[in-house]
Amino acid sequence: MKALLLFITLILGVFLAWPYTAVYRLEQALVHDDHQALQQMIDVAAVREQIKRKLNKNVESNIGDVSNGFIDWLQSGIQRLGSNAVDEMVDLDWVVRQLRTHNPRYDKGGVYDKLTYAFFDGPDRLLLRIGELDESPVHAHLSLQGTNWRITAVYN
């Protein structure tokens, strides 16, 4: 019985630590500007889909409350680009810029220095907050997709 309890505790501990290893890999990819690793860790299509879902009041989205700046950015994009605005504006570089928003080295660098929250938002989702609450923080969701943790939503 003790062995079974120890085994279950070990498995639970590994599962709880697993997404944090993805955060570490994300940090390393950002610091080293490793676009190949970033492409594997960021699901741009899912990020776009969550933003579109947030725009549609009749559909539920994983994105929480957004800042006025985020809404202004979306509105100006829709005015300039029309209905394909999100597809044209949101790409890997945009996601990386959002993650680095609070980094003093905007062109390179990671998120660790400004990471103020990283905890489960569900059994298969980790919520990251980059920046202090009073500084319009960037939020990113890491979701379990198969056997990989990937960024599936970014907003501020």
Nearest-5° angle of CA 4, CA 9, CA 10?
95
What's the confidence (pLDDT) of residue 62? Answer: 74
User: Could you tell me if 141 and 99 are in contact, meaning their C-beta atoms sit under 8 angstroms apart?
Assistant: no
What's the confidence (pLDDT) of residue 68? Answer: 77
**Segment holding 106, helix H or strand E:** none
Give the total residue count for the chain. Answer: 156
User: Could you tell me if 113 and 103 are in contact, meaning their C-beta atoms sit under 8 angstroms apart?
Assistant: yes
From first to last of its 156 residues, what are the pLDDT tens digits of the chain? 888 888 888 888 888 888 999 999 999 999 999 999 999 999 999 999 998 888 776 667 777 778 878 878 878 887 787 778 888 899 999 999 999 988 877 667 788 888 999 999 999 999 999 999 888 899 999 999 999 999 999 998
What's the confidence (pLDDT) of residue 113? Answer: 85
Distance CA 103, CA 156 (A): 15
What's the confidence (pLDDT) of residue 107? Answer: 67
Is the CA virtual torsion 120, 125, 130, 133 positive or negative? negative
Give Cα separations from 150 to 7, 29, 126, 153 (angstroms). 27, 13, 10, 9
What's the confidence (pLDDT) of residue 130? Answer: 94
pTM score of the predicted model: 0.87
